[in-house]
Structure 1
């Protein structure tokens, strides 16, 4: 591998007291031991069997890199949990937080706040479609909770439909909306959430021969589910499925969801928590579905494909009714999420109070770096860069890996958001076992990449500021690590 200009190691770091500590010194060793001891003795970790984990303490994070206490660097291949869109310690975000702390460091959300208002106005201005207001939350799960509540209040209906391959958060209704296995083991906190199969041609639930057939059958299945469930308030879907596999919907699917929702008087809630703010090369991932969609104006009983239906259609901007977001809104530097809604949804609560709120809704120290992040995204042309490099660098290299490695069955994604699915057999698509995935992970870390391994998949979601040189390094390491996974076949 050619010599790289980026730092694969560090010589010093700042400890929790702000003191400079040299890597390899007794002070560094003591600091690591202290961090590890406190973590193991007192910190309860998410989604984990507590006695079976041993988290790596991190001493420093900068740009696209994280560093342990020995000084070893790892390219952050998942932007932590797909949230550090502008990497670590971006100076514009640090400056925005510093300035805000000197002005207003905390505020009851009943007050107006300039940072919160500016962020809301900027997002609404940049988003495709006609939106009116934003309700700010502490994070993505909160945003989903409130989006569900708003949809029910707006429509007067109870049921929410979500896909089986989905993750929407770990709180009450959000974990019930989650379709993947992490829902299991939780009490049924919301029995009015029902699931359906979304499109995924590689592992099709519809025995489809191609992407177009997968799209058509998935849409028919969704409409059938709506009809058989009845009393449906909203369809809640990730614009690109995230934790459950990085699945980009086939062309026409989101437009089809919009058309069905319009005919049925149902809201479309787009979960953009993971993919919003440039992750796929657009502000929001639903924007990849196009600018406009046919809007049905005729009687509900007319089928969407009939001649009469076409006569009762007009063009409208393709947009959801509600959008949930978090993570990338301020590049994950502090917790922040939100619910963006149309004027029609907002008007439901013009004269009737909204039955919900949060102490930290639109916290000024969270919103200020959000404003700064939007400025960085635009000034540095981040979204276009992500789209271009995803198409010209990441996609072709990953496609090569499918041909090169017998353990890789499928690659898919968009922008800086990709999944590599490892299999024990490319024909049967049987998932690669834990031994092979562990071999991949160990090889990647040894080479200086911290991967996100999820079951038999590796998700690639590096910071949007990752350089071309760093991207090529990442892909080289993935290639080499996949060779180790091959050995497990």
Structure 2
């Protein structure tokens, strides 16, 4: 392999470099960034984007294998979605959530159809975190219980209950919500249960979950909240049988199962929703509520929501649901959802994601692991992959942050936008990515790993 992009990289559009300088200066003077110490920031400045590429004011072209925050599933600036937003803005730019709007109903109808027969309605929110908030609220109000169980390896958003449900370090300075209990979910490569096989991991993780339920008191637990495939925590799909076991435990103890599909949904795993993927859920165990955002419209307009089962929806037929947002079902967001789902359906984008994972990304990343000792584990589905980086394959000791930062710098030098988390590089291109673009990226990854190993 070489480490230069030379197959399919398009020329960058013309931009004024002076605008790039001004964009950087304005950002550093006025913009307060999330999850960051502000003083040391040197943000990447994007000028425009199209498909799987992002362009700078200096005329550089980057292959986007981060999908920004793993949300541009349909790629950047898809013309059908852009046109739909423009047309809707001219017709009805905003409307109160208490009114009916054709585009909002069309968006909800498409989402319910993709979720399948176990669902009947959609409550729209402004993003993924408040989708989680409202799913938790629905579970608590319908069960008349208060506790929420979620895993330590998880991220659910940065609002009150969503961040308390999160398992990683971001929870700790933000624990203001009540009633949250954490447990360990299955993760075969870094098992908390000393498992040696996926079957053992599944059985032991379910046993641990049931013991947690019993110890906390089933009469106090409203919901089990799970990312169908944990994203920021490491992209590790649950072993077959685990989601079916969660469904059985939820039924046994009268608990609502909330599937967090904010990152994993809408094509990312090669299915419309990750919980529908037959690799991880062969018997199609169905959650009670689905939280979504990101991929439903690739983040072109902020939006999220909760897909609701008939049983939970009916609980509010004669009882007020005490929740709402000014921009719930915003017309511009709804138009982008309709256009995005229609384009993904008509253009076979979900099927493309599945094919890319099976035929190109999976085999290519495993070939990289054979060459580079630093890659301890390759795991993923569709266009949702992680490289778990280690100092020693036997001990599985994670590499340092410095190593990951050097890898990020090498990938940026090779004009690939990376997504890194802790000791991992996440390989998460848009669902529209082509085999040639995957080959370009694999060349860059190979060169980056070689360069870092030599230092």
TM-score by length of structure 2 reads 0.96
| Residue number in structure 2 paired with 1:89 | 77
Contact 1:8 1:74 in 2 (8 A): no
User: Aligned partners of 2:10 and 2:442: how far apart in 1?
Assistant: 16
Distance 1:129 1:218, change over 3 A: farther
What are the Cα deviations for residues 421-469 of structure 1, in whole angstroms up to 9, with x where unaligned? 1111111111111232122111111111010111210011101111111
Q: What's the CA shift for 1:191? A: 2.3
| Residue number in structure 2 paired with 1:284 | 273
User: Aligned partners of 2:113 and 2:17: how far apart in 1?
Assistant: 50
2:299 match: secondary structure: coil
Q: What's the CA shift for 1:486? A: 2.3
User: Aligned partners of 2:103 and 2:287: how far apart in 1?
Assistant: 25
Say if 2:323 is the partner of 1:356.
yes
- How many equivalent pairs are there? 450
Say if 2:208 is the partner of 1:206.
no
| Residue number in structure 2 paired with 1:37 | 25
| Residue number in structure 2 paired with 1:469 | 436
| Residue number in structure 1 paired with 2:99 | 111
| Residue number in structure 1 paired with 2:388 | 421
Q: What is the CA RMSD across the aligned residues, in angstroms?
A: 1.5
Contact 2:96 2:327 in 1 (8 A): yes
Give the unaligned 5+ runs of structure 1.
14-27, 294-316
User: Aligned partners of 2:306 and 2:439: how far apart in 1?
Assistant: 36
1:218 match: secondary structure: helix
| Residue number in structure 2 paired with 1:191 | 178
Higher relative contact order (CA 8 A, sep 6+): 2
What are the Cα deviations for residues 101-158 of structure 1, in whole angstroms up to 9, with x where unaligned? 1110000000001111011111111223421110000000010000000000000000
Say if 2:176 is the partner of 1:215.
no
* One of 449, 454, 460 as aligned partner of 2:416: 449
* One of 252, 269, 274 as aligned partner of 2:263: 274
Q: What's the CA shift for 1:58? A: 1.0
| Residue number in structure 2 paired with 1:312 | none
What are the Cα deviations for residues 217-243 of structure 1, in whole angstroms up to 9, with x where unaligned? 000100110111111111000000000
What are the Cα deviations for residues 34-83 of structure 1, in whole angstroms up to 9, with x where unaligned? 11111001100000000011112111111111112111111111110011
| Residue number in structure 2 paired with 1:251 | 240
Q: What's the CA shift for 1:4? A: 3.9
Q: What's the CA shift for 1:183? A: 1.0
Written as runs of structure 1 = structure 2, the 5 A alignment for 1:69-468 is 69-186=57-174, 188-230=175-217, 231-289=220-278, 293=283, 318-468=285-435
What are the Cα deviations for residues 304-328 of structure 1, in whole angstroms up to 9, with x where unaligned? xxxxxxxxxxxxx621000000011
Distance 1:191 1:11, change over 3 A: closer
